[in-house]
Amino acid sequence: MTERPEQPQSSPAAPNNPGESPAASVPEELLEIRRSIDNIDAALIHLLAERFNHTQRVGRLKARHGLPPADPEREALQIARLRTLAGHADLDPDFAEKFLGFLVEEVIRHHRAIAREEASGRGSDAGTVTD
């Protein structure tokens, strides 16, 4: 991302710059918001990478010790907690729950791969998982 040069007034509500029409300043406002979205997305990607590092550890731990892949009680707690956090952050709780489901789908994929590796030694079936 290239940095936009400093401007005394970049607000589209104050088009005092004779060379800038209100129409031209709208994309500028859009670009500013997009820069923030891009920063947030970078943070999200890195947090997701870190989350999967942890769930991989959980997968290896469970596979190594023959622990059951799913834990409905833990999953119910996770859903309830994320819905509450979402509500406080003004995020749709249904979306938060859907997001957790989206992550768990990927965790299942990872854990199945781990279980397949471990299964060469002793049979293990990772149907659903809770991290």
Contact residues: its own copies, CB under 8 A: 12, 22-23, 26, 29-30, 33-34, 36-38, 40-55, 57-58, 61-62, 65, 67, 74, 78, 81-82, 85-86, 89-91, 95-96, 99-100, 102, 106, 131
Q: How far is the CB of 72 from its own copies (least distance, A)?
A: 15
Alpha-carbon dihedral sign for residues 90, 80, 43, 45: negative
Q: How far is the CB of 5 from its own copies (least distance, A)?
A: 20
Q: How far is the CB of 107 from its own copies (least distance, A)?
A: 10
Q: How far is the CB of 81 from its own copies (least distance, A)?
A: 7
Report CA 4 to chain centroid distance, whole Å.
28
Specify the amino acid at residue 68: P
Of 92 and 127, CB closest to its own copies: 92
Of 74 and 116, CB closest to its own copies: 74
Q: In sequence order, what are the residues at sequence separation of 6 or more whose Cβ sits closer than 8 angstroms to the Cβ of residue 111?
A: 55, 58, 59, 62, 63, 69, 126, 129
Phi, psi for 122 (deg, rounded to 5): -145, 140
What are the tokens at 59? 């997968």
